[in-house]
Every structure is written in C-alpha cells, then in structure tokens.
Amino acid sequence: AAAAAAAAMEPERECRVLSIQSHVVRGYVGNKAATFPLQVLGFEVDTVNSVQFSNHTGYAHWKGQVLNSDELHELYEGLKLNNVNQYDYVLTGYTRDTSFLAMVVDIVQELKQQNSNLVYVCDPVMGDKWNGEGSMYVPKDLLPVYRDKVVPVADIITPNQFEAELLTGRKIHTEKEALEVMDMLHAMGPETVVITSSDLQGPLGNDYLIALGSHRRTKADGTKVTQRIRVESPKVDAVFVGTGDLFAAMLLAWTHKHPNNLKVACEKTVSAMQHVLQRTIRSAKAQAGGNKPSSAQLELRMVQSKKDIENPDIIVKAAVL
C-alpha cells in the first residue's frame, strides 16, 4: 500500500506533442482546434503553425502567410540545437504543399530515431464526398506523398472514407469492404486506423454517421491481434470546420490513456465531439435568429466545452465487430 501511495504521489510523466498544423487568428481549425483539448487532457503541446491566416478559408475573406519547408526545417533546427526535440507524439493535419509534407516525414523519422516509442498521428487530409461524389481539395500530387512516404511512418491515421479509398485505390460500398481497406492500410504501416466518416448505412439508419476503427497490435509471441469497432453518431445538420482536427487530437489523447482499448478511446472521442457540436449548433442558431448561421457563428464552442473535453459523458457507444 505504501508503494502504491508513493506511486500515486509521483507526477505523471510529462507527455509532449509536436503539432504541425495551420493556425488561425480567429476561430478553431488546425492547431487552434487541437491545442486546447490536448492541454486540457494533460499534454504539453509544441505547435508549429504551417500557415497563419486571419480565419479559416470558408469565410468570404481571409488573409495571411504560409510557412514553407525551409522555414519548417529552420524551426526544427532551433529545437534541435537546444536539445529540446524530444517528443512522445507528432500530430499533423491539412497540408497543401508536397515539399512541406516531405519535410514533415524527415522530421518524424529523425524523432523516431531518438525515441522508438514515438507515435505519429496523421490525418491525411485530401478531400471528401459531397452527395456521393468524391473530390480532392488539395493538389493531386499530394496523394503519392501520403501513400508512399507519410502513411508508412504513421502509427495512427484518421482518413475519411474517400481518403481511405484514395490511399488504397479501392472503393468502399459495404462494411466488409471497409474492413478490407483498413487491413490494407494496416499493411502500409499504421497500427491504428479510424475511418472517421463514411456513407455506409448502419443499424441505426440514415440519421447516423458511421465511423469504423481498427487497432492491430503484435503480441509478445509475435501473433497479431486486431480489434475492430463501429461507432454510429447522430448527424448534425450544419457544416462545421475544424472537426477533423479536434477528432484527431482527442483520439491521440484517449488512445494514450487507453492504449489497447480502441472502443473506449473512440467512445470518449466521439462523445466529446457530439457535446461540442451540439453546443455549437445551439449557440449558432440562437445567434442567427432564424437565419442560416454564418461561418463566424458556426465556430466550434471550444472553451465553453472544456468540461466535456476533459471528462466526456459517454453518449455514443461503439460496437465491437
């Protein structure tokens, strides 16, 4: 008991994340959507802002600067010279530039040489489906970089259905095909694959969005164990920006806290998402007063959701497949 008490007294080992994402002055996307939840959940977050914009690009106007790969390298060199380039996690999201993405891969590989336990969480943001039709909203030459360089060094990836299809070259029409695609993605490198949204039909019907997760680990004796889950969450009728960035950050945190239980990690992540989105839509509708809410009114209610992020009431359950 004395040993347990002593252990309880010891502070939890500091866990540090290098997050390379966009920054906006106003609103919540990229690093602005990822940093606060990670800090609330007890992580130290070092941010590299791949862009600095006034606001996200869904507004009528936006202004700002873009960081290039040389500038990214320079920032990393500064950390290295001070010997403070030790990380437990790297987190990346939306990127438009192939040389920037290639530099990220170089940095991740170098950090993994220093810490073989480093976990790289990558949201391979490339495009999405609208009314059943998929289209890329980044330059096409990013796909081979993600497929051949980024995914092989990633440990956790969070593509949507369209991005999973792009990475594997296979279309998904059924849950069985989705599981096969996730197996193909595992074979490329990542231990954990979460297809964050799909147009598959689930048991609960049309008003629910299906996410699928797969966690494959190798046991001490060399055998592989795979846990697969399905999460159905209520659709929210609005276009939010920054939700994917928030999802990836919270998934990083909850998989850290529940390393071999993807079911619980996803339940906490998706439940927290629901709390944030419901609060955001209520607030946006109140502000819009019967009109269609604007981009500014639909900014995620992040600070107001602090308690839900920290300790989410589980309102969405995952089914083990």
- What dihedral do alpha carbons 278, 280, 281, 284 form, nearest 10°? 160
Q: Can you tell me the distance from the alpha carbon of 190 to that of 182, in angstroms, rounded to the nearest whole number?
A: 10
3-state secondary structure of 233: strand
φ, ψ of residue 28 to 5 degrees: the values are: -135, 90
As a whole number of Å, the end-to-end CA separation of the chain is 39
CA 163 to CA 144: how far, in whole Å? 12
Q: How many residues does the chain have?
A: 321
- Which letter, b or e, does each residue of 46-76 get, where b requires 16 or more Cβ atoms within 10 Å of its Cβ? bbbbbbebebbebbeeeeeeebebeebeeeb
Contacts of 231 (CB under 8 A, 6+ apart): 210, 211, 212, 213, 266, 267, 270, 316, 317, 318, 319
Angle formed at CA 74 by CA 72 and CA 79, multiple of 5 degrees: 100
From 88, 97, 245, 308, the catalytic residue: 245
91: closest CA among 251, 218, 259, 274?
251
**Rounded to an integer, what distance in angstroms lies between the CA atom of residue 72 and that of residue 94?**
15
C-beta atoms surrounding 147 within 10 Å: 17
Is-catalytic flag, 245?
A: yes
Separation CA 266–CA 260 (nearest Å) = 12
The structure tokens listed for 313 are: 């009431």
The residues annotated as belonging to the active site are 245
